[in-house]
Amino acid sequence: MNQPAAVCLLDDLGALRFSGAEVEKFLQGQLSNDVSRVSAGALLRAGVHNPQGRTLALLGLIGAGQGEVLALLPLELVASMATHLRRYLLRAKVTISDASAHYRVLGLASPDAAGGLTGQRVGYGLAHEPRALLLQSALEPPPSLPLLSREQWRALDIAAGLAQVYSATSGQFVAQMLNLDCIDAVSFTKGCYTGQEVIARAHYRGRIKRRLQRFVSRSALRLAAGDAGRLDDGRSFRVVEATQHAAGQCEFLAVASLAGAGQEADESGQLLASGGVAASALPLPYTLPE
């Protein structure tokens, strides 16, 4: 999809800063990806999971210099994730702080979108995605380039099959249900971390029956992250990310059964419509594991 040389202000993202002599060791024990791969030039995605393997938050890790790591995540989860991770600090020489007020995060829709803007350019971390982020000081003047709306950027994330975790979906899904193994957000070789046993067992011993999939409604519909429903083929789903088309249709990422109609009852409670949501499947830019 060709996009104009424009930027998007991602003001709903916050940042946690990890600093101290034992940052890498600490994060290796808490996150699903291999933190030794963190760099300043490309986003490294990693999940924070509970002991049952459920994803509490999805972080975008960036090397910030002097051994520091910056983690981007929805602003609404910053405080709770800081509290959660501090419980595991014990005597580790690590400081966790909310750095959200110090940064402006811009999404770059194309490789040349940055123009003359200053800041730390960070690749989106996916082979199929030319987009990037620009990390600026909050003291910098805001950009004067044409701005994409947040909905336009969200639509690009949905087309890229990129899950996000919000308060409404925190703790709902095992990593593979969000396709974190398909977007390089899980390492199966780095060793133990919280939730690793469940995630590894699902990888090595069993087929994942419910996966993140992309849909578009065939009529006007409004959905939001956390909404639950049933497709017209009988499969239940829970929305992970959604955006509205100009004509009113809803394009959304949802966790749904890969099995036939009526398989795998949803865990999410109330259905939006007893008659089922009329929706068509759309392709993802990556292949789901067998």
| The model scores a pTM over 0.85 | yes
194: pLDDT strictly greater than 70 = yes
CA quadruple 135, 138, 139, 143: dihedral, nearest 10:
60
Name the token pair of 264: 């795998």
The pLDDT value recorded for residue 259 is 55
Residue 115 zone, left/alpha/beta (φ > 0; ψ -120 to 50; rest): left
CATH of domain 7-143: 3.30.1360.120
Strand partners, 8: 107, 148
CA distance 99 to 14: 7
Domain ranges, ordered by start, for the chain: 7-143, 175-282
Per the CB < 8 A criterion, the answer to whether 231 and 238 are in contact is no
CA distance 266 to 202: 18
Per the CB < 8 A criterion, the answer to whether 233 and 264 are in contact is no
In this predicted model, what pLDDT tens digit does every residue of 50-93 receive, in sequence order? 999 999 999 999 999 888 999 999 999 999 999 999 999 998 99
In this predicted model, what pLDDT tens digit does every residue of 127-168 receive, in sequence order? 888 899 999 999 988 887 778 999 999 999 999 999 999 999
- CATH 2.40.160.40 describes domain 175-282: no
269: pLDDT strictly greater than 70 = no
Instruction: Please report how many Cα atoms fall inside a 13 Å half-sphere around the Cα of residue 276, on the Cβ side.
Output: 11
Q: Do domains 7-143 and 175-282 have the same CATH topology?
A: no
CA distance 178 to 213: 9
Query: Do the bridges between strand 7-9 and strand 147-148 make them parallel or antiparallel, or are there none, so unpaired?
Result: parallel
- The DSSP string of 218-250 is EEE----TT-EEEBTTS-EEEEEEEEE-TTSEE
CA distance 101 to 54: 29
